[in-house]
Amino acid sequence: MYSMMEDRILLWKFKRGSREALQRVYEKYKNDLLKLAVSLVTDVSAAEDVVQDVFVAFAQSAARIRLAGDLRKYLMACVANRIRNRRRDQLRHEMPGLDEAEGVICSARRPEQWAILNEELRRLSEAMAQMPYDQREVVSLYMQGDMTFRQIAAIQNASINTVQGRYRYGMNKLRSLLNGELEE
C-alpha cells in the first residue's frame, strides 16, 4: 500500500502541474518500460520510440488522467497497448516495421542510442523474438510487468484460459530456445 501511496502523491502533484513529479515518474519507471518494450519489439530504436511516446502522452494527460491504482502497471499497459496499435497500423498498411528487425538485435550501438541492453536482456530478447507475438506479450507482461493473467486478459481482450495457455506455450518455447544457453 505504501508504494501505491507514493505513486498517488506523485500523480496528485502531477495533475496539479508539478514538473518535479513528472520527472520523478520518468526517472522511476523509464528503465522498466524500456526493458518491457525491448522484450516486446526487440528492435531497440522502435522500443525507444514507443517508450518516449508513452511518456509524452502521459505528460499531456495531466488534466484528464483519472488513475488511482498502480502507476507502474498502468504505464506498462500503455507500452503494450501502444505497441499493439503500431503493429496493427503496420499490418494494415503493409509497412515494414516493428517485426521487421525481429530475430536479430542490432549489436552495433548507434551514437544516439538511448537504451543500453546488458547481455542477459539481449539473449532474452533474441529468444522472445522467435515466439508468436501474443505469447511474447503474455510472458513479458507476466514476468516484467508483474501483471496477473486477469490483467493481461483485459489488455489482450482474451479469456484468462487463453492467456494462461499462451503463457504455457510461450514458456515452453522459451525453455527450448534457451535450454542450451541456460545450462552453461
Partner 1 sequence: MRPADDIERLNNKAAVNTNPKMDEAVLNAVLAAHEKATGEVSAATRPSARSIIMISPIAKAIAAAAVVLIAVLGLSEFLGSGSKSGVAWAEVLAKTEQTPSVMFDMTAEIDQSQDKKLVMPSKNYVADDYGTRSDMFLDGKLSLIRYRLPAKKEAWQIRVDQKKYWRFDLSDEEAARGRDRDDPRTWLKMILSGDYTTLGRDTINGIVAEGIECKRPEMVGEDGIMRLWVDVQTDLPVRIEVEMLGMEGGQMKQQKFVMENFRWDFEFEPSLFEPNIPGDYTQGEDPRAGRSAQGSAGVKQTPPRTSPEQAR
Chain positions 81 to 100 lying near partner 1, rule: CB under 8 A, are none
Shortest Cβ 178–partner 1 spacing (Å): 7
Q: Does 78 bind partner 1 (CB under 8 A)?
A: no
Query: CB-wise, 93 or 116, nearer to partner 1?
Result: 116
Query: CB-wise, 39 or 133, nearer to partner 1?
Result: 39
Which residues between 9 and 38 bind partner 1 (CB under 8 A)? 9, 12-13, 17, 19, 22-23, 26-32, 34-35, 38
DSSP annotation of 14 reads H
One residue of 97, 160, 165, 169 binding partner 1 per CB under 8 A:
160
Q: Does 159 bind partner 1 (CB under 8 A)?
A: no
As given in the structure block, the three cell numbers for residue 37 are 518494450
Q: Is 125 in contact with 46 (CB distance < 8 Å)?
A: no
Q: Does 106 bind partner 1 (CB under 8 A)?
A: no
- b or e along 7-40 (b: 16 or more beta carbons within 10 Å of the residue's beta carbon)? beebbebbbeeeeebbebbeeebbebbbbbbbbb
Shortest Cβ 125–partner 1 spacing (Å): 8
Which residues between 108 and 147 bind partner 1 (CB under 8 A)? 112-118, 120-121, 123-125, 143-144, 146
The residues, any chain, with a CB within 8 Å of residue 4's CB and separated by 6 or more, are: 69, 70
Q: Is 50 in contact with 41 (CB distance < 8 Å)?
A: yes
Shortest Cβ 93–partner 1 spacing (Å): 26
The number of angstroms, rounded, from the C-alpha of 84 to the middle of its chain's C-alpha atoms is: 10
One residue of 70, 99, 126, 134 binding partner 1 per CB under 8 A:
70
**How many whole angstroms separate alpha carbon 115 and alpha carbon 39?**
12
